[in-house]
Structure 1
Amino acid sequence: MTVGLRAVGVARGWIGTPYVHQGSVKGAGADCLGLIRGVWRELYGTEPEAPPPYTADWGEIGGDQGPLLAAALRNLAVAGGKGSPGEVLLFRMRDGAVAKHLGILAGGGDSFIHAYERHGVVESPLSAPWRARIVARFFWPAS
Protein backbone atom coordinates (compact mmCIF):
# COMPACT_ATOMS: atom_id res chain seq x y z
CA MET A 1 0.00 0.00 0.00
CA THR A 2 1.36 3.43 -0.92
CA VAL A 3 1.96 6.08 1.72
CA GLY A 4 -0.78 8.17 0.06
CA LEU A 5 -3.38 5.43 0.50
CA ARG A 6 -2.23 4.90 4.08
CA ALA A 7 -2.62 8.66 4.68
CA VAL A 8 -6.22 8.52 3.41
CA GLY A 9 -7.00 5.62 5.74
CA VAL A 10 -5.46 7.41 8.70
CA ALA A 11 -7.27 10.67 7.86
CA ARG A 12 -10.62 8.86 7.61
CA GLY A 13 -10.03 7.69 11.17
CA TRP A 14 -10.12 11.36 12.20
CA ILE A 15 -13.57 12.00 10.66
CA GLY A 16 -15.93 13.21 13.36
CA THR A 17 -13.18 14.93 15.36
CA PRO A 18 -14.55 18.36 16.33
CA TYR A 19 -12.97 21.54 15.02
CA VAL A 20 -10.62 23.09 17.58
CA HIS A 21 -8.32 25.93 16.56
CA GLN A 22 -4.67 24.76 16.90
CA GLY A 23 -5.88 21.31 17.99
CA SER A 24 -4.27 18.09 16.78
CA VAL A 25 -5.81 15.27 18.85
CA LYS A 26 -7.94 12.63 17.13
CA GLY A 27 -11.41 12.54 18.66
CA ALA A 28 -10.77 15.61 20.83
CA GLY A 29 -10.16 18.42 18.34
CA ALA A 30 -8.24 19.53 15.28
CA ASP A 31 -8.01 22.29 12.74
CA CYS A 32 -6.81 21.69 9.18
CA LEU A 33 -3.13 21.91 10.11
CA GLY A 34 -3.75 19.76 13.17
CA LEU A 35 -5.27 17.05 10.98
CA ILE A 36 -2.17 17.01 8.76
CA ARG A 37 0.07 16.96 11.83
CA GLY A 38 -1.92 14.08 13.33
CA VAL A 39 -1.77 12.05 10.13
CA TRP A 40 1.98 12.73 9.96
CA ARG A 41 2.44 11.42 13.51
CA GLU A 42 0.48 8.25 12.73
CA LEU A 43 2.51 7.67 9.55
CA TYR A 44 6.00 8.63 10.75
CA GLY A 45 6.07 9.17 14.51
CA THR A 46 7.62 12.53 15.35
CA GLU A 47 6.53 15.66 13.51
CA PRO A 48 9.24 17.30 11.38
CA GLU A 49 8.73 20.70 13.02
CA ALA A 50 6.44 22.36 15.53
CA PRO A 51 4.16 25.07 14.16
CA PRO A 52 4.34 28.48 15.78
CA PRO A 53 1.21 29.75 17.56
CA TYR A 54 -1.22 31.23 15.06
CA THR A 55 -4.50 33.10 15.14
CA ALA A 56 -7.67 31.94 13.40
CA ASP A 57 -7.31 34.72 10.82
CA TRP A 58 -3.54 34.36 10.35
CA GLY A 59 -2.28 35.06 6.90
CA GLU A 60 -5.55 36.50 5.60
CA ILE A 61 -3.80 39.00 3.38
CA GLY A 62 -0.17 39.01 2.36
CA GLY A 63 2.29 39.49 -0.41
CA ASP A 64 3.54 35.90 -0.42
CA GLN A 65 1.82 32.53 -0.23
CA GLY A 66 2.14 32.29 3.54
CA PRO A 67 3.65 30.02 6.16
CA LEU A 68 1.72 26.86 5.20
CA LEU A 69 3.23 26.84 1.72
CA ALA A 70 6.70 27.45 3.13
CA ALA A 71 6.32 24.59 5.63
CA ALA A 72 4.92 22.25 2.97
CA LEU A 73 7.86 23.01 0.69
CA ARG A 74 10.26 22.16 3.55
CA ASN A 75 8.61 18.87 4.51
CA LEU A 76 6.68 17.45 1.53
CA ALA A 77 7.36 16.79 -2.15
CA VAL A 78 5.57 18.91 -4.76
CA ALA A 79 3.05 16.84 -6.72
CA GLY A 80 2.01 17.52 -10.28
CA GLY A 81 -0.73 16.18 -12.45
CA LYS A 82 -4.38 15.69 -11.65
CA GLY A 83 -4.02 14.12 -8.24
CA SER A 84 -3.47 10.87 -6.43
CA PRO A 85 -5.19 9.69 -3.26
CA GLY A 86 -3.36 10.96 -0.21
CA GLU A 87 -1.99 14.14 -1.71
CA VAL A 88 -1.94 17.08 0.66
CA LEU A 89 -3.90 19.92 -0.91
CA LEU A 90 -3.20 23.56 -0.08
CA PHE A 91 -6.04 26.03 -0.69
CA ARG A 92 -6.41 29.80 -0.94
CA MET A 93 -9.79 30.61 0.56
CA ARG A 94 -10.30 33.90 -1.30
CA ASP A 95 -8.64 35.98 -3.98
CA GLY A 96 -5.75 38.06 -2.68
CA ALA A 97 -5.37 35.97 0.47
CA VAL A 98 -2.49 33.65 1.25
CA ALA A 99 -2.92 29.89 1.12
CA LYS A 100 -4.20 28.85 4.54
CA HIS A 101 -6.32 25.71 4.33
CA LEU A 102 -5.20 22.09 4.01
CA GLY A 103 -6.84 18.82 3.10
CA ILE A 104 -6.01 15.30 1.97
CA LEU A 105 -7.21 14.06 -1.40
CA ALA A 106 -9.36 10.94 -1.03
CA GLY A 107 -11.46 8.63 -3.14
CA GLY A 108 -10.75 8.74 -6.84
CA GLY A 109 -9.80 12.38 -6.56
CA ASP A 110 -13.40 13.49 -6.15
CA SER A 111 -13.33 14.15 -2.39
CA PHE A 112 -10.97 15.38 0.30
CA ILE A 113 -10.67 15.13 4.07
CA HIS A 114 -10.19 18.33 6.03
CA ALA A 115 -11.01 20.03 9.32
CA TYR A 116 -13.44 22.82 8.71
CA GLU A 117 -14.73 25.37 11.21
CA ARG A 118 -18.24 24.50 12.48
CA HIS A 119 -17.99 21.06 10.84
CA GLY A 120 -14.94 19.34 12.33
CA VAL A 121 -13.05 16.73 10.34
CA VAL A 122 -15.17 15.74 7.35
CA GLU A 123 -14.85 14.25 3.89
CA SER A 124 -16.18 16.77 1.39
CA PRO A 125 -16.72 16.61 -2.36
CA LEU A 126 -13.85 18.22 -4.25
CA SER A 127 -16.30 20.39 -6.16
CA ALA A 128 -15.39 22.95 -8.81
CA PRO A 129 -15.26 25.83 -6.28
CA TRP A 130 -12.84 23.86 -4.07
CA ARG A 131 -10.74 22.80 -7.08
CA ALA A 132 -10.43 26.45 -8.12
CA ARG A 133 -8.94 27.28 -4.72
CA ILE A 134 -6.09 24.74 -4.89
CA VAL A 135 -2.72 26.49 -4.79
CA ALA A 136 -0.45 23.43 -4.59
CA ARG A 137 -0.44 19.65 -4.16
CA PHE A 138 2.12 17.64 -2.22
CA PHE A 139 3.15 14.01 -1.74
CA TRP A 140 3.96 12.58 1.67
CA PRO A 141 7.61 11.49 2.06
CA ALA A 142 8.35 7.84 1.32
CA SER A 143 8.31 5.85 4.54
Structure 2
Amino acid sequence: MNADPDRVITAARSWLGTPYHDQASLRCVGCDCLGLARGIWREVVGPEPFPIPPYSRDWGETGPCEVLAEGARRMMPEIAPSEAGPGALVLFRMMPRAIAKHVGILIGPDNFLHAYERLGVIEEPLTPSWRRRIAFAFLFPQR
Protein backbone atom coordinates (compact mmCIF):
# COMPACT_ATOMS: atom_id res chain seq x y z
CA MET A 1 0.00 0.00 0.00
CA ASN A 2 1.27 3.50 -0.83
CA ALA A 3 1.15 6.66 1.24
CA ASP A 4 -1.63 9.16 0.59
CA PRO A 5 -0.23 11.66 -1.96
CA ASP A 6 -1.90 14.56 -0.11
CA ARG A 7 -0.03 13.59 3.05
CA VAL A 8 3.27 13.49 1.14
CA ILE A 9 2.58 16.91 -0.41
CA THR A 10 1.62 18.45 2.95
CA ALA A 11 4.81 17.09 4.51
CA ALA A 12 6.90 18.33 1.57
CA ARG A 13 5.42 21.83 1.68
CA SER A 14 6.19 22.07 5.40
CA TRP A 15 9.88 22.16 4.35
CA LEU A 16 9.47 25.23 2.09
CA GLY A 17 12.02 27.88 2.98
CA THR A 18 14.41 25.46 4.71
CA PRO A 19 17.93 26.64 3.84
CA TYR A 20 20.18 24.48 1.69
CA HIS A 21 22.82 22.57 3.64
CA ASP A 22 24.74 19.69 2.09
CA GLN A 23 23.89 16.27 3.57
CA ALA A 24 21.61 17.72 6.27
CA SER A 25 17.98 16.80 6.93
CA LEU A 26 16.45 19.19 9.51
CA ARG A 27 13.30 21.11 8.61
CA CYS A 28 13.71 24.89 8.99
CA VAL A 29 17.43 24.38 9.77
CA GLY A 30 18.97 22.91 6.62
CA CYS A 31 18.79 20.13 4.05
CA ASP A 32 19.87 19.10 0.59
CA CYS A 33 17.58 17.35 -1.90
CA LEU A 34 18.12 13.90 -0.40
CA GLY A 35 17.75 15.32 3.10
CA LEU A 36 14.37 16.73 2.06
CA ALA A 37 13.24 13.28 0.86
CA ARG A 38 14.54 11.72 4.08
CA GLY A 39 12.62 14.23 6.18
CA ILE A 40 9.40 13.57 4.26
CA TRP A 41 10.00 9.83 4.73
CA ARG A 42 10.31 10.26 8.52
CA GLU A 43 7.07 12.23 8.66
CA VAL A 44 5.01 10.08 6.30
CA VAL A 45 6.48 6.57 6.74
CA GLY A 46 8.49 6.49 9.98
CA PRO A 47 12.13 6.04 11.01
CA GLU A 48 14.70 5.81 8.26
CA PRO A 49 15.45 2.14 7.53
CA PHE A 50 19.21 2.52 7.18
CA PRO A 51 21.88 5.22 7.59
CA ILE A 52 22.83 7.19 4.49
CA PRO A 53 26.56 7.05 3.74
CA PRO A 54 28.37 10.26 2.75
CA TYR A 55 27.91 11.17 -0.92
CA SER A 56 29.41 13.60 -3.40
CA ARG A 57 27.68 16.73 -4.69
CA ASP A 58 28.91 16.10 -8.24
CA TRP A 59 25.89 16.14 -10.59
CA GLY A 60 28.20 15.09 -13.44
CA GLU A 61 29.28 11.89 -11.66
CA THR A 62 29.30 8.86 -13.94
CA GLY A 63 29.59 5.20 -13.20
CA PRO A 64 28.05 1.80 -13.66
CA CYS A 65 25.79 2.03 -10.60
CA GLU A 66 22.72 4.23 -10.05
CA VAL A 67 23.37 4.46 -6.30
CA LEU A 68 20.44 6.75 -5.49
CA ALA A 69 17.93 4.71 -7.51
CA GLU A 70 19.18 1.45 -6.04
CA GLY A 71 18.80 2.85 -2.53
CA ALA A 72 15.26 4.01 -3.27
CA ARG A 73 14.36 0.58 -4.72
CA ARG A 74 15.27 -1.00 -1.37
CA MET A 75 12.40 0.79 0.33
CA MET A 76 9.99 2.29 -2.20
CA PRO A 77 7.87 0.92 -5.06
CA GLU A 78 9.29 2.05 -8.40
CA ILE A 79 6.99 3.33 -11.13
CA ALA A 80 7.62 4.52 -14.67
CA PRO A 81 8.46 8.23 -14.75
CA SER A 82 5.54 8.72 -17.17
CA GLU A 83 3.19 7.37 -14.46
CA ALA A 84 4.50 9.65 -11.70
CA GLY A 85 1.90 11.98 -10.26
CA PRO A 86 1.54 14.25 -7.25
CA GLY A 87 3.30 12.85 -4.19
CA ALA A 88 5.85 10.83 -6.19
CA LEU A 89 9.57 11.06 -5.55
CA VAL A 90 11.47 11.67 -8.77
CA LEU A 91 15.19 11.34 -9.44
CA PHE A 92 16.75 13.66 -11.98
CA ARG A 93 19.74 12.99 -14.23
CA MET A 94 21.22 16.47 -14.36
CA MET A 95 23.77 15.81 -17.13
CA PRO A 96 23.69 13.40 -20.07
CA ARG A 97 25.42 10.09 -19.30
CA ALA A 98 25.70 11.02 -15.60
CA ILE A 99 23.99 9.04 -12.85
CA ALA A 100 20.78 10.42 -11.30
CA LYS A 101 21.85 12.68 -8.41
CA HIS A 102 18.98 15.11 -7.74
CA VAL A 103 15.69 14.44 -5.94
CA GLY A 104 12.32 16.18 -6.07
CA ILE A 105 8.72 15.62 -5.03
CA LEU A 106 5.92 16.14 -7.54
CA ILE A 107 3.39 18.54 -6.07
CA GLY A 108 1.03 18.72 -9.04
CA PRO A 109 1.04 17.80 -12.71
CA ASP A 110 3.21 20.79 -13.55
CA ASN A 111 5.18 21.65 -10.42
CA PHE A 112 7.60 20.08 -7.98
CA LEU A 113 9.44 20.83 -4.77
CA HIS A 114 13.15 20.32 -4.18
CA ALA A 115 16.15 21.65 -2.28
CA TYR A 116 18.44 23.64 -4.50
CA GLU A 117 21.86 25.01 -3.64
CA ARG A 118 21.76 28.72 -2.68
CA LEU A 119 17.91 28.72 -2.80
CA GLY A 120 16.96 26.12 -0.21
CA VAL A 121 13.66 24.27 -0.46
CA ILE A 122 11.53 25.78 -3.21
CA GLU A 123 8.50 24.88 -5.31
CA GLU A 124 8.80 25.57 -9.00
CA PRO A 125 7.29 24.68 -12.38
CA LEU A 126 8.11 21.28 -13.86
CA THR A 127 9.31 22.81 -17.11
CA PRO A 128 10.15 20.67 -20.17
CA SER A 129 13.82 21.04 -19.19
CA TRP A 130 13.18 19.53 -15.75
CA ARG A 131 10.69 16.94 -17.04
CA ARG A 132 13.12 15.45 -19.56
CA ARG A 133 15.72 14.96 -16.79
CA ILE A 134 13.48 12.63 -14.76
CA ALA A 135 15.21 9.25 -14.81
CA PHE A 136 13.36 7.34 -12.06
CA ALA A 137 10.16 7.65 -10.03
CA PHE A 138 9.07 6.07 -6.75
CA LEU A 139 6.11 6.11 -4.38
CA PHE A 140 6.31 6.54 -0.64
CA PRO A 141 4.97 3.43 1.09
CA GLN A 142 2.27 3.65 3.72
CA ARG A 143 3.40 3.79 7.36
What TM-score comes out, normalization by structure 1 length? 0.92
Correspondences of 1:1-143 after superposition (within 5 Å)? 3-57=4-58, 60-64=61-65, 66-80=66-80, 81-107=82-108, 109-143=109-143
Residues 1:128 and 1:58: Cα distance change in structure 2 (over 3 Å): closer
Instruction: Give % identity.
Output: 48
Q: Is the 8 A contact 2:89 2:105 kept in 1?
A: yes
Runs of 4+ in 1 over 3 A off after TM superposition: none
Q: CA deviation at 1:59?
A: 6.9
Unaligned runs of 5+ in 1: none
CA distance in 2, matches of 1:59, 1:74: 24
CA distance in 2, matches of 1:43, 1:33: 15
CA distance in 2, matches of 1:30, 1:59: 20
2:115 aligns to what SS in structure 1?
strand
Q: Is the 8 A contact 1:87 1:104 kept in 2?
A: yes
Unaligned runs of 5+ in 2: none
CA distance in 1, matches of 2:7, 2:42: 12
Q: Is the 8 A contact 1:78 1:138 kept in 2?
A: yes
CA-atom RMSD in angstroms = 1.4
Q: Is the 8 A contact 2:60 2:95 kept in 1?
A: no
Q: Is the 8 A contact 2:61 2:98 kept in 1?
A: yes
Q: Which amino acid aligns with 1:52?
A: P
Between 1:94-103 and 1:39-48, the stretch displaced more is: 39-48
CA distance in 1, matches of 2:129, 2:73: 24
Q: Is the 8 A contact 1:79 1:87 kept in 2?
A: no
CA distance in 1, matches of 2:92, 2:71: 14
Q: Which amino acid aligns with 1:118?
A: R
Q: CA deviation at 1:82?
A: 3.5
Q: CA deviation at 1:93?
A: 0.3
Q: CA deviation at 1:95?
A: 0.2
CA distance in 1, matches of 2:97, 2:60: 11
CA distance in 2, matches of 1:84, 1:115: 19
Q: For residues 70-114 of structure 1, what are the alpha-carbon distances to aligned partners after superposition, in whole Å with 9 as ceiling and x for unaligned?
A: 11111110123432210000110000100000000002x110110
Between 1:51-60 and 1:41-50, the stretch displaced more is: 51-60
